Amino acid sequence: MKRKLILRKSNLIAKIFAIIFPSIVLAGCPAMYGSPSASYTTSGHVRSEEGLPLQGIKVSVGGHPYTDSLGQKQIHFEGSAVTNSQGEYRVDIHTFPLTEIIVVAEDVDGEQGGGEFESDTLVVKDFKYKGEGLWCSGHADIDEINFILKKK
């Protein structure tokens, strides 16, 4: 009889802790669920070797290199934009915090935008976050990522 009473008390105590303990832990750690994230704004311009602005150049931004099933190195791009008539672009992305930003400019319109141009890639490693939080690295403005593309 005494043994059953002890078991009932320990079960009751276990149930109380099962209800109260998660509440205490979660109350002490606000917003600690989900995945860490950050936002990035990358901007600049694309010009020809002669200094002329290039319209219709696709600029892609990412930062998660990986190797595909064929052993080829690939980049997961989070966003892209096409340059305007002044050769300017702006790409806003929201992703897992990055240690480097990979920016690729490629001619996607061929002769229509003033000739055919070779692609170019820039890797940016030196950028600062604003507004860091517990699970949020904040926002990074990565300005003046400029390209000068060579004709094919």
104, amino acid identity: V
The DSSP result for the chain, as a single string, is -HHHHHHHHHHHHHHHHHHHHHHHHHHHSTT--S--EEEEEEEEEEEETTS-B-SSEEEEEEEEEEE-TTS-EEEEEEEEEE--TTSEEEEEEEES--S-EEEEEEE-SGGGGTS-B--EEEEE-----BS--SSEEEEEEE----EEEPB-
Structure tokens that stand for 41 in this block: 């704004």
Q: What is the pLDDT of residue 67?
A: 85
Neighbours of 103 (CB within 10 A): 24
Q: What is the pLDDT of residue 88?
A: 97
Q: What is the pLDDT of residue 25?
A: 47
- Residue spans of the domains in the chain: they are 1-30, 37-149
Q: What is the pLDDT of residue 59?
A: 97
Q: What is the pLDDT of residue 131?
A: 83
Q: Which residues of the chain have pLDDT under 50?
A: 5, 7, 25-31
Q: Report the relative pairing of strands 101-107 and 147-149 from DSSP bridges.
A: unpaired
Separation of alpha carbons 103 and 107, rounded Å? 14
Mind listing the pLDDT tens digit for each residue in 69-96? Answer: 888 888 889 999 999 999 999 999 998 8
> Which residue, 84, 77, 127, is CA-closest to 103?
77
Neighbours of 78 (CB within 10 A): 21
Q: What is the pLDDT of residue 106?
A: 95
Q: What is the pLDDT of residue 73?
A: 85
Assigned CATH topology for domain 37-149: Immunoglobulin-like (2.60.40)
Q: What is the pLDDT of residue 27?
A: 47
Q: What is the pLDDT of residue 35?
A: 77
